[in-house]
Every structure is written in structure tokens, then in C-alpha cells.
Structure 1
């Protein structure tokens, strides 16, 4: 897969991630800083490394599969895998400036 195609696909993945929301904080998971890595291999398989706001997050069982499915449904993606990590643990400092402004979490 060409570098330009990977960049275009990564842009589409980010756009999809911005449609996924954490129910506790009304901001998308990308701007919340829950996405640590997006890796796209030469076969257009997308591996996403993400975290949640806490291990006891009420959507811990449903949000990762939702993210995985939404990415898998992007035209051009052959496969999607979401891996959850707790290292480093999420803090509000990981939020984008826009997300901090929207939520009032400075």
C-alpha cells in the first residue's frame, strides 16, 4: 500500500473515530485522547490502540467493538482490530484543546 493511500485511509479512520463518543464525557473518543495509535499495514488492515477513561467505564464491553466495526466498514479497509491498553492511563491532559474547551475541563 502506498504511503499516500495509507495517509488517506488514516484520515478516514480519524473521521470515523470522531463519530464515536464516550457516554460520560460528551466529546468524541479521538479528541478525548483515547486513541493512542492507528497502524495500517500494507494489506489495509487497521490496528487501533486505545484506552478508556477508566477500567470501570460503563461501555468497556461495547465501545471497543463499536470502534472496530466502524473502522472495518470504511471502504478500503480489509480488517480492523482494536486493542485496549491501560498504559499510560488516561488523564484529561490527553484531551485536545477543543475537547477541553467544549467540556470545560481545563
Structure 2
């Protein structure tokens, strides 16, 4: 367990963040069938040198009944990134989500211009 107490450099953190985003692409919004990254629901990934990862995300609507499902899926997905030691998921509502945040892929998949 050599990585257990390791502190990562800024360059390593950027590479790990990419791995985190890749893992988050496996989290599918159950209603829309598109991953939360391409939907633009992930606002920020903060990763510190000790492996603590905070994901700030929003949902398409306030009071979404699937918030717990998506949060659990995020935890499950991030457990596949070995450098992530602790996970916090924070729901944020500002700025409000809109279809402008969606990737081209998500827009095409959902038929939005």
C-alpha cells in the first residue's frame, strides 16, 4: 500500500482528475440515459494532494428524486480510481443548469440543437 500516504504533485493531480472525469462518465442519468459529465452536471472536481476528491454537481431539476441514486453511482464510480481516498459529493444549484452546459454528444443523443 505504497500510495496510502503519498501526496501527489500538481501534475499528478491533473492526470488523476482526468481519470476521475473518465470514471464519472460511467455515471448515467437514469432519466436521460446520458452520463453526468456530457450532460454538464459536473461543475467542478477538486482533488487535494492526499487523495480527497470533492465533486460539485447539479441536477437538471431541483428536487430531482434520483439525487441519491446519482450520488451513490458517483461514489461507486470513483472507487475505481485508486488514487482517490475520500469522496464528497456536493449538490449545488448555482449557476442553474441549462442545456447550454451539455456537450455536443449529449445534444445529438437527445436531439437538442
Given the two structures, how large is their TM-score scaled by the length of structure 1?
Answer: 0.92
Task: Figure out how many residues of one structure are paired with residues of the other and give that number.
Answer: 106
Q: Deviations over 1:13-32 (max 9, x none)?
A: 01111000111212100000
The answer for the alignment partner of 1:18 in structure 2 is 25
Query: How far apart are 1:70 and its partner, in Å?
Result: 2.1
Q: Deviations over 1:21-53 (max 9, x none)?
A: 111212100000000000111101111100011
Given the two structures, how large is their TM-score scaled by the length of structure 2?
Answer: 0.86
Q: Do the aligned residues in 1 keep the contact of 2:40 with 2:101 (CA within 8 Å)?
A: yes
| Structure 2 unaligned regions, length at least 5 | 1-7
The answer for the alignment partner of 1:96 in structure 2 is 103
Matches within 5 A, 1:1-106: 1-106=8-113
Q: Do the aligned residues in 2 keep the contact of 1:65 with 1:82 (CA within 8 Å)?
A: no
Q: Do the aligned residues in 2 keep the contact of 1:22 with 1:28 (CA within 8 Å)?
A: yes
| Structure 1 unaligned regions, length at least 5 | none
Which aligned segments of 4 or more residues in structure 1 are displaced greater than 2 angstroms? none
- Structure 2: how far apart are the matches of 1:23 and 1:44? 28
**Is the radius of gyration larger for structure 1 or structure 2?**
2
